[in-house]
Structure 1
């Protein structure tokens, strides 16, 4: 028998504390003034909400999940959207489409496992359908450092205006849409609001998340005026939206029945993989990772919200860490002096949206010095979910330089394409 006492152990682990308005991103000025040392935030077990969840799901009245339980199973038990939708031809189309490549789904599931516990924890706390935890599969392929051609960003692909409306600050050096914790809280707030707007119909709420509540409501009103059905399946929505909801339901079917489709999900114990650290000084994320003996991108990949690679306490004093290295990183950060702020300048992408590129303040590197950098950084092999902007940000070079020194005539990249980063860095340095 799994007992609540075992699960209570999780309350002492280092994962996010979500506030009633979503994921907290900033401290108050009073707290900031007294906060002198890095502090790891710990989990809170929301027992009141757990009781509500138990009432909603009879299975949970006999057992509460502990750390030995798999997070994927926790997702499956929280499904609430009608399973019959999986038989819809539009859903089956994407089941067949994605199901043809189980290896790709396994890779996506591995990427998802980094954030899954954090998202499911909050979805459970709010008593929402756990299908929502799969939505980043559709939105961003679980890549928190990604922009769309429409200017949407992060795991949950907030466009700038909607992000600001839900408390996600955006500045040259910081973009909360790319903070996995803050964006998750904001996305779930928005989805809860949409669900209420459409009288508890999750398919309509999800469609509105994609194309906007006004568009969905307009199509409902048009159908109603013509005496036509007003369910999601009968609305004349944009093609992307008509495919958006079926894609999510297809992922639900494939992940929820992985063995049937030859998919092996990664081992994902029911425990946090991420921790949060509060710190009130600028921190160079790459330098700290290297000092801790970790890969240089360890913290950059979890904190793409800091667009320069240096934290900005004036916008957010929270750093996301891999839980297993949290204490050693905390010690390095505590012992490190405040980092200097890098220069930030804007570049313009092909789609016309401003993106950010950065350069460190300091001595200019010669092309000879650049050539001596680690060979792994000489080229970048494009992976699924990469954009030219995210590659440029990762390597500290502009999109224009990458395009120029790789003879590219557009910002589009293909999976497997190799980009010469060293040439772009050297050329940009010489030009400056």
Structure 2
């Protein structure tokens, strides 16, 4: 990769431009197993090269797929810069390279893994188990003209379980697991997750109770991470600068429940995709957005930080084909303070929302939402009943302010290289109906 970046930077310099090259070689293995057998196996490799140039006060940009050394990429980027006109000046060259390990993870789905996955899908006759595994590996290079290239290798494992139970009805539950190693993810699946999901699918296959009567509400982390996604844009500095964030001007104000924290940290031990620096070369570090429910700051990239007169939080991330960096979290984790577990409180009936079935309406600016979901009722005698299909409505910002506790089971949601993490939350901030 360094040969291509050196050529492109030298070509840009010959045309009087400053430049920066980002290259990525991405490998993916995928396995689909069902009924004790491997149904599909796919392996793919893709490459991409992105070039940014600065000349005469303008910034230009071009992407080449597949990657490689091509002088036409420089001419395209310069032409884009001329067409766009003036822009922010070129960022200063870093005086020291961003720190971080070069080798972080290289997960692979080999034959032994395929056999283990297939065995996990050989379930009882009344339950269909499908497992979809994916291992991603990326070799990333970032080379600013006049600087030493930055390199790192990283990867992540994803396992999606799709469980269908047959009873008076069809009960279906899907769940995604992530991690840095194949062994760790498979151990989680075999140790507890698949048994729990199977039991839950069997409950959802029963006839629903005629009416929903409950004392408390627990929103499983599988659902909470999807609701939290609605709030993410509000914590991005570009949204603040463009007037799209309802949190603008509210720094140091309490917006969440007591003890609630929201921290973005791609370097955290439990981050499934560790990265030492973002796609602009800014070193990644913990960024606290909420502390004890109080708003402390926003995520930013190199460009948005310059506009606001501050420094980047290391949140400039490219799209899957090397698109221009935008502000995105790396590993954003919601952590309520009080643990209440996942069982009903003494003498009370708990409604547990276990799965989101798609958004009926949602608004990423206001935070209002109405979604379809599945739920179960847990009664004081330990019985579990199918609550059927429900509608969950509310506002995600009011929800953050009315979290009473958590269940201790963190779930993840993935969007390319961004991960959102949350445990299940006990809350009174929702409207529930059928």
TM-score, scaled to structure 1: 0.26
Structure having the higher strand fraction is 2
TM-score, scaled to structure 2: 0.26
Structure having the higher helix fraction is 1
Which structure would you say has the larger RCO, counting Cα contacts within 8 Å and 6 or more residues apart? 1
